[in-house]
Copies of this chain bind each other. A is one copy, B any other.
Amino acid sequence: MPKRIGQWHDVEAALRADILSGRLEPGARLSTEADLCARFGVGRHSLRRAVATLVAAGALRVQQGAGTFVADHAVLNYQIGARTRFTHNLLSQGLAPSGDLVSAETLIPPAHVAEALGITPTTQVHAFVAVGRANGDPVNLTCSWHLASLFPSMIDQRRAGETVSQVYTQAGHGDYRRRETTITARSALPVEMRHLNLPDARPVLVTAKVDTTRDGLPIGYSQGIWAADRVRFTVENTTMTGELK
């Protein structure tokens, strides 16, 4: 026996059903708040809470002054854990990759970065923040940290448009490896909302990985924040037969 308290739950369910069933098509505009309030017989508060929930869920998109619309998204399918790269991933789906370097500086890393890199908290690193785009729309925000001692001119190189891989190679670490990638999800932080152009605290996927030399020495750590409704990760399940138990 479901414990349904709250009219806004009912309104949310009704709107969600309309969207899923196709009665409201992707991109369609909903009636105004006032109309919907009248239709459902609830106050503006209840209606707005239902809409807010669906916006957070990525089912609706609201634009002040214009109206409320059913979301329509293009989802990027991103291959992970292999030798594919951002550029290659997008091109293979007919999307135009681009990116902006938001910031580049040399500093003392935050604690969790120092830990991941296995360095003392006072060792200097280069820190970069960049936005990756598909067809001009931002899809991810990358924060990366690299040992400053190994890549003296990395700041200038990256400002000149060189990729991390290119810098690694020129410094004699072309055969670097990527340790395992971790994936988590959470709600977007205010900074992330700005860079990813998110209208609200929507879910984001967070990827993190450590680059090491062939000997396993960490040389860089990077973290990607992805708008959850704009990407789907694919992990190739290599190996494996049965192996139950």
Contact = CB atoms under 8 A, between A and B. Distances in A.
B244 A163 contact: yes
9 contacts: A56-B201, A57-B187, A82-B237, A169-B244, A177-B241, A178-B240, A180-B236, A185-B185, A203-B203
B233 A184 contact: yes
A70 to B, nearest CB: 15
Given A228-B203, A240-B178, A57 B233 contact: no
Given A83-B240, A238-B238, A194 B2 contact: yes
A232 interface: yes
Contact of A187 (B58, B177, B236): B58
A80 B239 CA distance: 12
A67 interface: no
Contacts of A83: 239-240, 243
B182 A233 contact: yes
Contacts of A56: 56, 187, 201
A108 to B, nearest CB: 17
Contacts of A166: 244
A229 interface: yes
B233 A183 contact: yes
Contact of A58 (B9, B177, B186): B186
Contacts of A81: 81, 235-238
A232 B182 contact: yes
